[in-house]
Structure 1
Amino acid sequence: MTAVHQFCIIGAHVMVGGCSGVAQDVPPYVIAQGNHATPFGVNIEG
């Protein structure tokens, strides 16, 4: 289960890892993972 904080914007084609907490906006085409999800790569799979 992934938790997303209220009013956070998840960009297009973003992949968020399981059991992650998103507390800030995630830009488009990014892979984010971890507690207080941080971007660590570019989504090249679509």
Structure 2
Amino acid sequence: MSYVGVDIAKLNHLASAISSDGEVLIELFKFTNDADGFQMLVSKLI
């Protein structure tokens, strides 16, 4: 199983993903609060 954490803010968000055994799958990254930013989030998750 994988877990994704998202820190929500007004202009920019932060996200990261780990596996159930604690391995970092996606390093912490920043994305903007707009369509381009959410497209970046989706592209990193798939």
Q: Tell me the TM-score normalized by structure 1.
A: 0.25
User: Over alpha carbons, which structure has the higher Rg?
Assistant: 2
Q: Which has the higher contact order (CA 8 A, sep 6+)?
A: 1
Q: Tell me the TM-score normalized by structure 2.
A: 0.25
Q: Would you tell me which structure has more strand in proportion to its own residues?
A: 2
Q: Would you tell me which structure has more helix in proportion to its own residues?
A: 2
